[in-house]
Amino acid sequence: MSEYTNPNLILETAKLEPGEVTWRSPSNLAIIKYWGKHGRQLPKNPSISLTLSSAFTDTKLEYKPKESGDNAISLKFFFHEEENEPFRQRLVGFLEGVKDIFPFLGQLDLTIHSGNSFPHSSGIASSASAMSALALCLCSLEDRFFETLDDDEEFDRKASYVARLGSGSACRSIYPVAALWGEYSEVPGSSDLYAVPMKEHIHETFQHFHDDILIVSSKPKKVGSSAGHNLMENNPFAEVRYADARRRLHFLLEAMKKGDLETFGNIAENEALTLHGLMMSGNPSYILMQPGTISVIDRIREYRAETGNPVYFSLDAGPNVHVLYPEDIIHEVRPFIEEELLPFCEESTWLQDWVGEGPVEL
């Protein structure tokens, strides 16, 4: 967009020393889901997410003056210290697409070293953590070279804007605790172009909330999120879905403000099932849940009915289950997970996670 296009961000490469910048950025779990887009990564409906802590991507961006004289993106990419050509090609496309925002990228030889604390492409929003980490690195480079982003709020907003261009959900990972993306009349300042922080608008209960992620399968998804979004174009329930997401967001915001766990949990579960229902009702249709996913969901609902404990589930676009509950019942819930849910997980794998404070520069 024109507000971030800046042709003046050009380096005097003769004076530039090689360097590097590193950011750790978390994944996030959307409670109201973003599923369906238009234009250049613009959402069909607003979404709100919890920022995670243990599920993160570390990205180191190394740079030096370019040896060749062209203006094309020069990039080497390593994922967990192994070259990954499909990821590299995707990142080259992204970086070419943001050269109007960061013109200096064409003047540099770049090397990215990236790694996740969790399985990628398995439905834990790995693109959200990866692209937000890279966007933060790019904004740090701009500020280092030109001292243009010394205002923290503006730095975060620009990073969120740039992250969105790489992966829509990535724009929400920039902020601590919770973030909302998409223009919504009940949230002043909300925008389709970037996320806005919601920490100050939610109850203390949700600021220390737990999200333990059960790895039913670590295998990459058969259908990626980008393809899933595209299938919404012809989904017969799409328009009803977008309207319903806005309606649910109203009640969710009220619940998160008051600390109403029951309303929060019911909406979280319904949104997760709606997301997968949209996948199953598309053309072509596809199913990402696995038998273990269904078994975990059933057992969580049984446990909640038996104990009265406010334990709920959510899903991203994959088979793995997010177990949601407040801090004050952790000593009851963790044994339940270990004894009754881990048998449904791949090699009893799970990630103990919770709402976090957002990205950090390393």
Where do the domains of the chain lie? Answer: 2-202, 204-351
User: C-alpha distances in angstroms, 164 versus 77, 124, 215?
Assistant: 21, 17, 26
CB within 8 A of 120, min separation 6: which ones? 79, 126, 130, 220
**Helix pair 85-97, 152-166: axis angle to 10 deg:** 120
Cα 200 to its chain centre, rounded Å, is: 20
For the chain, how big is the Rg over CA atoms in Å? 20
What residues form DSSP beta bridges with 227?
A: none
Taking the chain (362 residues) in consecutive chunks of 10 residues, what is each chunk's mean pLDDT? 82 94 97 94 97 96 91 95 93 97 97 88 75 98 96 97 97 98 97 97 97 92 78 89 97 98 98 95 92 98 98 95 98 98 96 97 97
Q: What pLDDT is stored for residue 120 in this prediction?
A: 65
How many other CB atoms sit within 10 Å of the CB of residue 167?
24
Nearest CA among 355, 351, 361, 344 for reference residue 117: 351
Q: Specify the DSSP class assigned to residue 23.
A: E
User: C-alpha distances in angstroms, 25 versus 55, 60, 134, 211, 357?
Assistant: 9, 11, 9, 17, 10
Bond prior to 335 in cis (omega within 30° of 0): no
Residue type, 171: C
Burial class, 62, CB count within 10 angstroms (exposed 0-12 / middle 13-18 / buried 19+): middle
Question: CB–CB of 193/1 below 8 Å?
Answer: yes
Residue type, 29: L
Q: Is the dihedral of CA 253, 258, 263, 269 positive or negative?
A: positive
| Rounded Cα gap, residues 86 and 232, in angstroms | 25
- Please give the CATH number for the structural domain made up of 2-202: 3.30.230.10
CB within 8 A of 134, min separation 6: which ones? 23, 59, 61, 91, 94, 112, 114, 163, 166
2-202 with 204-351: one CATH topology? Answer: no
Residue type, 186: E
Beta strands in 252-353 (DSSP E): 312-315, 321-325, 350-351
CB within 8 A of 317, min separation 6: which ones? 35, 123, 221, 225, 228, 275, 279, 288
| Rounded Cα gap, residues 228 and 200, in angstroms | 33
Nearest CA among 106, 99, 171 for reference residue 136: 171
Q: What pLDDT is stored for residue 1 in this prediction?
A: 44
User: C-alpha distances in angstroms, 308 versus 115, 145, 203, 323, 332?
Assistant: 39, 55, 21, 15, 12
Strand 74-79 and strand 82-83: the pairing is antiparallel
- Please give the CATH number for the structural domain made up of 204-351: 3.30.70.890
